[in-house]
Amino acid sequence: MKTRYDFTKGSKNPYAKRLKRQVTIRLAEETIGYFKAQGLKAGIPYQSLINLYLADCVDSRKKLTIHWG
């Protein structure tokens, strides 16, 4: 392994804008439990499952119906 590397001819990652970004979100315990259970059944982490679900909503341009109260 070199002690120094020359990055002067390097280029930026063209996929950097597509990378995931960490955010803080407050979710109900019931919601987290639901996605954790579904993630275990599917064999994927629940955070990935939530991301896949939200990405599907974006892709299908799903219209939200909110019943507050």
- 4 within a domain of the structure (yes/no): no
Confidence of residue 12 (pLDDT cuts 50, 70, 90): confident
User: How many CA within 13 A on the CB side of residue 8?
Assistant: 2
- 43 within a domain of the structure (yes/no): yes
The candidate with the shortest Cα–Cα distance to 34, out of 15, 53, 57, is 53
- 5 within a domain of the structure (yes/no): no
Task: Supply φ then ψ for residue 36, to 5 degrees.
Answer: -65, -45
The domain total for the chain is 1
Which amino acid, residue 31? T
- 54 within a domain of the structure (yes/no): yes
Confidence of residue 31 (pLDDT cuts 50, 70, 90): very high
Q: Which domain holds residue 54?
A: 24-59
- 48 within a domain of the structure (yes/no): yes
Asked if 38 contacts 50 with a C-beta cutoff of 8 angstroms, the reply is no
Q: Using the predicted structure, report yes or no on whether residue 51 has a pLDDT greater than 80.
A: yes
End-to-end alpha-carbon separation of the chain, Å? 61
Q: What is the mean pLDDT of the chain?
A: 91
- 68 within a domain of the structure (yes/no): no
